[in-house]
Amino acid sequence: MKTDAHNLVPFYDGWRLANDRLTELIGSLTLEQLALRPAPDLWPIWATTAHLAGMRVYWLCTILKEPGAERTPFGDPTGEGWEDDLSHPRGSSELTFALESTWEIVQRCLERWTPDMLQDEFRREFDGNIQIHSRQSVLMRMITHDGYHCGEISQTLGMHGLKELDIWTGRARLSPSRA
């Protein structure tokens, strides 16, 4: 991880740690556990995870024109994603590769972008409308999107009697004991 006073890495380090915890958890799940759903009409854990990872490529590579999509499972992030084909469940190794390879794109952006670049604007056409997004708004969208789906995965695991996802493991410090 490359940090210096002029990039964004120090400001978003907790996000990297949350991704590490998610990747570890997903890598430990069986196919049966990855197929668990919070409700019959909602996505299984594997599809939610694929959606989380694919969204990073969509925003960073398609909208903000960052390189790297070809090194992920989402070479065409404007097409159908893995989560759209529920008849083809994905295993833990595919999903951990998706999380790791998409995080590499995020990490390269955080290393290269500076605070002055956060307000640069990008156009997105969606449903016939032109939307303007800044790098900052895209980062916030991705962080909250990851957090939302991490919570969904954690809740799904808990509903089925499994250990939840704790994305903050290692972030808390114990206070000094009082004598």
**Residue 104 included in any domain:** yes
> Using one digit for the tens of pLDDT, what is the confidence trace for 112-146?
999 999 999 999 888 888 999 999 999 999 999 99
Predicted pLDDT of residue 178: 53
Average of per-residue pLDDT values in the chain = 91
CATH number at residue 105: 1.20.120.450
Residue 174 lies in a domain: no
Establish if 166 belongs to a structural domain: no
- 132 assigned to some structural domain: yes
Query: What does the pLDDT average to over 150-170?
Result: 92
- What's the rounded Cα separation, in Å, for the pair 59 and 107? 14
Are 56 and 91 within 8 A, CB to CB? no
- Bigger pLDDT: 11 or 178? 11
Domain contains 111: yes
| pLDDT recorded at residue 105 | 98
Classify the C-alpha dihedral 151-13-82-80 as positive or negative: positive
Does residue 63 surpass a pLDDT of 70?
yes
**In the predicted model, is pLDDT for residue 34 greater than 70?**
yes
For the chain, the 3-state helix, strand and coil shares in percent, each to the nearest 5, are 55, 5, 40
**33 pLDDT more than 70:** yes
Domain range for 153 is 9-159
The helix or strand, by DSSP H or E, that contains position 123, with its residue range, turns out to be: strand 121-126
Q: What is the domain count for the chain?
A: 1
3-state secondary structure of 131: strand
